[in-house]
Structure 1
Amino acid sequence: MMLTGVSPAARRWADLRMQVVFRARRLNMGHMIEADQRFGQRDALGPHGLMLFFVGDAPAEPHGYTLRTAYRLWLASPDSDDLVRLLTELAEVAADNIIRSAGSGRVWHPLGPEGSMVNGGDMSLPGNAIYVGLGVTTLDSDWGRWHQVARSLRELPVNGVRRSVFDLPGQCYALLTDGTALHVRRDPHAPLGVDGVRCTRTLDADRISYYNPHEHLTEQGDDVTREVWRRLRTLHGILAAHLRPGRQP
């Protein structure tokens, strides 16, 4: 039964969170397949990627918006293999681009044309599109670091059972401008009903009162995971302040 007291904005944000989950999963899978195909080659991909989320008005859509996703993948290198280091450098680059562009009377945008932070996805936006968040896709998981796991696919398995890239899990982290933090673990072998999604806010607008064990998601996990959240929040804060000045989430 649908609750009539839920505002359209609440429904829109709940729907947007689910759309981000879907986009993150899809991008992570594509990232992993491409990285596997190029593993060991001169153009090998790094294990981490950046996602930027924007919404544009679309009155014909159920919630009046469309989600646009631009992303950036890197070639494998010591810099791109370290997610914390990568996010730290991206924040520095974004801040520098904002200052440099302002000094020359221009307004920098992360999609370019100058100083672009992306190289794939929706690289052009409608004029009414606004920034709603960012995330990262990573091929590192509880199975191990990407390079180790990818190498194991090419070795003769001891138990005689060969795995493929389609057996491997991946994960994504995301922050949205309404304060949402999302973690998505994509696991092809997850039990039925286990979606691998942890979120600080509801994914169901009609479920307005419930205990959420993930309310403090960004403070949970090991030291590296918490540092990833901190660095992601720094970059998110820079982009949100620049792209949404004075705007409420």
Structure 2
Amino acid sequence: MPDRPAVDVTPSFRGAVASRLRKFSFLHARHAWEQRRSDPLAPHGVAFFYLEPKAPQFDQLRTATRILLGDDEAASLPHLLYGLARHARDGFSTDPTFDPRVAMANRVDGMSRSAVFAGVGVVSLDTPHGSWRDAQHRARGEQDLPGRCYARLIDGTMLLMDRGGEPQFNALTVECSVQDGNTQYDTPSMLWRWNPVLAETAESDPTFHVWRWIGELGRIIDHGSRSR
């Protein structure tokens, strides 16, 4: 097994992940709104996070993202993540050149060969304010669309983010499973809260299977990447 740089998931890296997911959520909402009648997108998108160990600490995050066309499988976030986990498992077990940044993403930041896998994130237009199906009928435009984001990093950090549209004053709340000192990052509308209960999500909770398959997808990619 090749040497692998240690991944130090710092508060600044977690903050960068939150900021990147916020931007991805905005862009996903824009594309979904623009294409809702012509070439509909799935209400969910996926991000793979990498850490560039030789970069300055404030600039270590690199991201590969994927948005998908809408279909029955992609409509359910847990089933989408389950399918991606199977894809990653089969890819690593059968193809010695398999790389999620190539095989599972359609946009990738530039990064060096030293970049190390650091976690998985999800953006969704299904939120506590309603489903994407309902939201697109109520919204006046993309600015009214809220979003929900999830992330699980390889140190076990869990982030749950709710991004409001204009009706919610464009506020962003970040719940983090570890207490790391972040109070806001990059924007005064981002409120950072410690929520250790995220790591104890009950099976009856609607997000249980989302967290389950985000964790499994990350575990498969981390293990497969380490073996290369």
TM-score range, shorter chain: 0.7 to 0.9
- 8 Å CA contact 1:14–1:202 kept in 2: the answer is no
- The superposition leaves residues 41-69 of structure 1 with CA deviations (integer Å, 9 ceiling, x where unpaired) of 1x21110011000011345x3x2752111
Q: Does 1:223 align with 2:205?
A: yes
Q: Does 1:23 align with 2:5?
A: no
CA-atom RMSD in angstroms: 2.5
- The superposition leaves residues 172-217 of structure 1 with CA deviations (integer Å, 9 ceiling, x where unpaired) of 100001110001111145569x6410001134279xxxxx761120
- 8 Å CA contact 1:201–1:215 kept in 2: the answer is yes
Matched residue, 2:190: none
Q: Secondary structure at the match of 1:201?
A: coil
Q: What is the number of equivalent residue pairs in this alignment?
A: 211
Matched residue, 1:5: none
User: What TM-score, normalized to structure 2?
Assistant: 0.83
The counterpart of 1:171, out of the listed 133, 148, 161, is 148
Task: Letter of the 2:37 partner, please give it.
Answer: G
Q: Which runs of 5+ in 1 are unaligned?
A: 1-8, 154-162, 207-211
Matched residue, 2:31: 34
User: What TM-score, normalized to structure 1?
Assistant: 0.77
Please give the alpha-carbon distance, in whole angstroms, between the structure 1 residues aligned to 2:160 and 2:58.
25
Question: Larger Cα Rg: Structure 1 or Structure 2?
Answer: 1
- 8 Å CA contact 1:58–1:64 kept in 2: the answer is no
The change in CA–CA distance for 1:24 and 1:213 in structure 2 (over 3 A counts) is closer
The counterpart of 2:41, out of the listed 36, 42, 45, is 45
The change in CA–CA distance for 1:167 and 1:89 in structure 2 (over 3 A counts) is same
Q: Does 1:214 align with 2:208?
A: no
Task: Letter of the 2:101 partner, please give it.
Answer: L
Please give the alpha-carbon distance, in whole angstroms, between the structure 2 residues aligned to 1:30 and 1:64.
23
C-alpha displacement of 1:145: 1.2
Identity of aligned residues (%): 30
- The superposition leaves residues 139-175 of structure 1 with CA deviations (integer Å, 9 ceiling, x where unpaired) of 111221102211233xxxxxxxxx3321221011000
Structure holding more helix per residue:
2
Task: Letter of the 2:220 partner, please give it.
Answer: I
Please give the alpha-carbon distance, in whole angstroms, between the structure 1 residues aligned to 2:194 and 2:182.
17
- 8 Å CA contact 1:51–1:70 kept in 2: the answer is yes
- The superposition leaves residues 213-236 of structure 1 with CA deviations (integer Å, 9 ceiling, x where unpaired) of 611204337532111111111111
Please give the alpha-carbon distance, in whole angstroms, between the structure 1 residues aligned to 2:93 and 2:149.
30
Matched residue, 1:136: 122
The counterpart of 2:74, out of the listed 80, 85, 103, is 80
Please give the alpha-carbon distance, in whole angstroms, between the structure 1 residues aligned to 2:115 and 2:30.
30
